[in-house]
Amino acid sequence: MTVSSADAEVDLAIYDEIEHLKRREDATILAHYYQDGAIQEIADITGDSLKLARAATGVNSKTIVFCGVHFMAETAKILNPEKRVLLPDTLAGCSLADGCPADRLARFQTELRNRGRRFDTVTYINSSADVKAISDWIVTSGNAIEIVRDRVPSDREILFVPDRHLGKYVEEATGRKLILWDGACVVHEVFSVSELLKTRRRLANSITIAHPECPVNIREQADFVGGTEAMLKYVDLIEQPAEILVATEANMLWRLQNNVPRHRYHPVPGVTCACNTCPHMARNTLEKVRDCLRTGGPEIGWRDAFDRAAAVLRRSLLG
Ligand code: 13P
């Protein structure tokens, strides 16, 4: 039997197979809101980056299948060294993480120090473990403002990496001047303001929500700016059915529709296309989830950088 889920026909037998393998392997499936709806459906826990990182530390099973991108599975492993963490497709990367290699960051930090600058490095969780290991704080879209405002000592400058748009947003929200790394997310960078305005003219009284990874020209047009978890809370507070334009990865619309179905959700079009799907997130499929449970791989192995990254992650996200 098949059923239409998200945008694909899904063979129901695979759900049974995954359930069976999950029990056999003593596994818990975690999925980010940017995963295909069919994957979110089989997950034990869905969430944004912050919720999933925290949830991973409360999992009782000996295996975690992380349906998300590489840095998320790596974070789950760093916070749970004793667990086996599987990522259905290890090539599921992140343009932000790729744009900030640890050796380049280390050189830039040295340059700044040589110029007498005293700073803390505040790093978006969308980064490699090697970058986390040379950082002072790790933030997500869910706690970046709080960490910069309340925890980074006020007598220190802040080097914020790797997302310049999130950095700009945090700068505006906290009033602290940040040194920004020149990185951006390929998905959030492509939203088109003119297409957004066109769609808005078509939909009277619509509400626009945007992820803080969006450039300022999109954020300026938004009624609400927040990460994916905050978006869910925000739309839930709107009591009357509304037309909601969503400037973030396309699969988030599935989650919004599922959790708060009284509204209608519309993707904000991109400059060159109408779909803002993350090509990395899209690498994970139900078949790959099944296969990683069947074979026990690909698995995130322990690396030296994880020890130092663990301390930074713990004090930033769990402290
Ligand atoms: P949140 O999970 O914090 O909403 O951010 C989305 C993201 O960038 C995942 O790569």
Instruction: Specify the CATH number for the domain of residue 231.
Output: 3.40.50.10800
Give the single-character DSSP code of 181. P
Residue 319 falls inside a structural domain? no
Q: Give the end of a domain, one of 124, 154, 184.
A: 184
61 & 103 share domain: no
Residues 212 and 263 in one domain: yes
Q: Whose CA is nearest to atom 9 of ligand 1?
A: 49
The C-alpha atoms of residue 193 and residue 175 are separated, in whole angstroms, by 26
Q: How far is the CA of 2 from the centre of ligand 1 (A)?
A: 31
Residues 262 and 284 in one domain: no
In a domain, 273, yes or no: no
226 and 153 housed in the same domain: no
How many structural domains does the chain have?
3
| Residue 20 in domain | yes
Domain assignment present for 315? no
59 and 82 part of one domain: yes
How much distance in Å is there from the Cα of 114 to the middle of ligand 1? Answer: 34
Task: Tell me the pLDDT tens digit for each residue of 198-243.
Answer: 999 999 899 999 999 999 999 999 999 999 999 999 999 999 999 9
Residue 240 resides in a domain: yes
Contact 78, 317 (CB under 8 A): no
Is the Cβ atom of 126 under 6 angstroms away from ligand 1? Answer: yes
**Ligand 1 center to 289 CA (angstroms):** 21
Co-location of 87 and 101 in the same domain: no
Range of the domain at 53: 2-92+280-302
Name the band, by pLDDT with cuts 50, 70 and 90, for residue 9.
low
Tell whether ligand 1 has an atom less than 6 A from the beta carbon of residue 141. Answer: yes
How close is the Cα of 76 to the center of ligand 1, in Å? 15
Q: Does residue 312 lie within any of the structural domains?
A: no
Mutating to test ligand 1, I would choose from 33, 48, 249 the residue with most ligand atoms within 8 A of its C-beta, which is: 48
Instruction: Note every long-range contact of 153-158, with CB atoms under 8 Å and residues 24 or more positions apart, other chains counting.
Output: 153/120, 155/118, 156/118, 156/119, 156/120, 157/117, 157/118, 157/119, 157/120, 158/119, 158/120, 158/121, 158/122
pLDDT range class, residue 2, cuts 50, 70, 90: very low
* Shortest-distance atom of ligand 1 to CA 227: 4
Mean predicted lDDT score pLDDT of the chain: 95
Indicate the pTM of the whole model.
0.95
Q: Is the CB of 142 under 6 A from ligand 1?
A: yes
Same domain, 106 and 84: no
Residues 179 and 206 reside in one and the same domain:
no
Q: Is residue 10 part of a domain?
A: yes
Assigned domain for 80 exists: yes
Q: Say if residue 242 is in the same domain as residue 262.
A: yes
Q: Is residue 273 a contact partner of residue 298, using CB atoms and an 8 Å limit?
A: no
Please report which confidence band the pLDDT of residue 12 belongs to, taking 50, 70 and 90 as the band edges.
confident
- Determine the pLDDT at residue 274: 59
Relative to the CA of 126, which ligand 1 atom is closest? Answer: 10
Last residue of a domain, one of 167, 184, 201: 184
48 in contact with ligand 1, CB cutoff 6 A? yes
